[in-house]
Amino acid sequence: MNEDRYVAAIEISSSKIIGVVGKLRPTNQLDIIACEQDHGVEGVRYGVIQNLEDTSLRIQHLLTKLQRRASVQPRQITGVYIGLSGRSMRSLITEVSKNLPDDTEITQEIIAGLRAQALKSAIDNSLEVVDAIPRIFKVGKTETTSPKGMIGNSIRGTYDLIVCRPELKRNLVRTLHDKLGIRINGAMVTALCTGQLILRSDEKNLGCMLVDMGAETTTVTIYRGGHLRYFATLPLGGRNITRDITSLHILEDKAEDLKKTSGDAIARDSVSSLNMNGVKMTDVSNMVVARAEEIVANIIEQIAYADMKEKDIPGGIICIGGGSQLRGMLELLGEKSKLPVRRGQLPSYIRLEDNSKAPALEIIEVASVLYTGATNNNAECLIVPQRQDLPENGQPHPDDIIIEEEEKRRKRGSEKKPKKKGPSLMDKLSNKLSSFFTGSEDDDDDIIE
């Protein structure tokens, strides 16, 4: 790739749909040049599209706004990379093996065949395998994470199968491709994309946990030895706190505002005793603290479910997602887990040129999906519409007329019209004298300044 390539991605969650257009440089640097989002998505629950019509209309509106941005025009979005996330997503461990002739060198083709075998592993019929992540290989009797080039008469691989319910992907295809005619250039597991971009190599080698706190779900992935060791999605998120507050007879949008402005995950000694419109702030505080502690307790419990202990993840916990922005949430997670906690950030090779629609913390997931997809796939996402030839009747195409008129207007606006010069002072005096001697009376309105 010798020139910049325009790419696009969409992330659909229970709280918002966010779309971005980026420019991928030949150096693999990604510049996010346009970002739009649509909040209050009613047709998506726990990351799964429930209402195809409502969601498709929202996506179409979002794509239209992206295409109208000056940084994107005159390009049109014809394909996108899409992130996969939702309550049903988790990992299952499977082992596959292949016998080989004596003294066989392990090639990339053999490894690829082993992965294909893993993808076809028998699992629950209600689930679909979307990816297979290698954990460890065994060539003969030797364990390794890099089997290519080794010699042996057999190879065995242990894989983490990433699975989800079929409707998660199926409804994305029906919404984007079938209803909108938008090509899906790649569907990537959002949690794996973010782990690849925002986790440092030393953290993954030592052992660390990535936590994405969303509106209705919280995704937990654990890495150790440089590889994925655990993946789970919890049906808990920031919206649980908001809905708890609505039990105080507050509308959900007002409860969300109250959570963001006054909520605190940690019980403080100095809680306000104010009563706002009949709502006691102490009641709000108690609800936020109780639910935040429940979410944190479930996150920490995943370490045991992964058959690990806190000492196995000295790299600490890295948090992203809207739920993690609740005041005191990271502090609470650190106190309860006794582990270092930090907020995840995009790497330096991904730059946000357009932060007018969303700050960098809000686009981590969709930017990770975009980067992963674009650097592993050369599919076109945006095209420049070509002018069509004149129709048979010889009249110009309507699109050409519009384009030409816009160009004329821009040209007229950029050209400064010369200021029309009026008669000079000497001309006016000459005209006055001429009128005086000829007796003309039609210059009564002339004024000599």
Alpha helices in 306-363 (DSSP H): 329-337
Question: For residue 1, what pLDDT is reported?
Answer: 52
- Domain(s) labelled CATH 3.30.1490.110 in the chain stretch across 89-164
Question: For residue 269, what pLDDT is reported?
Answer: 79
Question: For residue 230, what pLDDT is reported?
Answer: 97
pLDDT, tens digit (0-9, with 9 covering 90-100), for 257-269: 999 998 999 988 7
Q: How many whole angstroms separate alpha carbon 76 and alpha carbon 384?
A: 6
pLDDT, tens digit (0-9, with 9 covering 90-100), for 223-237: 999 999 999 999 999
H-run or E-run covering 5: strand 5-12
Question: For residue 166, what pLDDT is reported?
Answer: 94
Interacting residues of 443 by C-beta distance below 8 A, sequence separation 6+: 431, 432, 435
Question: For residue 123, what pLDDT is reported?
Answer: 86
Tell me the pLDDT band of 280, cut-offs 50, 70 and 90: confident
Q: Please choose, from the candidates 385, 344, 351, the residue with its C-alpha nearest in 3D space to the C-alpha of residue 370.
A: 351
What is the assigned CATH class of domain 89-164? alpha beta
Q: Which two tokens stand for residue 13?
A: 């969650």
Residue 35 CA, chain-centre distance (Å), reads 9
Which tops the pLDDT comparison, 141 or 273?
141
What's the whole-number mean pLDDT along residues 163-178? 95
Question: For residue 281, what pLDDT is reported?
Answer: 86
Residue 55 has pLDDT above 80, yes or no: yes
Question: For residue 443, what pLDDT is reported?
Answer: 43
pLDDT, tens digit (0-9, with 9 covering 90-100), for 186-215: 999 999 999 999 999 999 999 999 999 999
CATH superfamily ID and name for 5-87+167-191+350-383: ATPase, nucleotide binding domain (3.30.420.40)
Tell me the pLDDT band of 386, cut-offs 50, 70 and 90: confident
Q: How many whole angstroms separate alpha carbon 81 and alpha carbon 398?
A: 32
Q: Which two tokens stand for residue 404?
A: 């030409």
Q: How many whole angstroms separate alpha carbon 32 and alpha carbon 354?
A: 6
Residue type, 317: I
- Domain(s) labelled CATH 3.30.420.40 in the chain stretch across 5-87+167-191+350-383
pLDDT, tens digit (0-9, with 9 covering 90-100), for 399-434: 444 445 545 554 555 454 444 455 554 555 455 445
Q: Which two tokens stand for residue 194?
A: 């973010």
Query: Which DSSP state fits 380?
Result: -
Name the average pLDDT for the chain: 87
Residue 447 has pLDDT above 90, yes or no: no
**Torsion over CA: 133, 139, 141, 142 (sign):** negative
Question: For residue 278, what pLDDT is reported?
Answer: 74
Q: Please choose, from the candidates 85, 84, 66, the residue with its C-alpha nearest in 3D space to the C-alpha of residue 76.
A: 66
Residue 435 has pLDDT above 60, yes or no: no
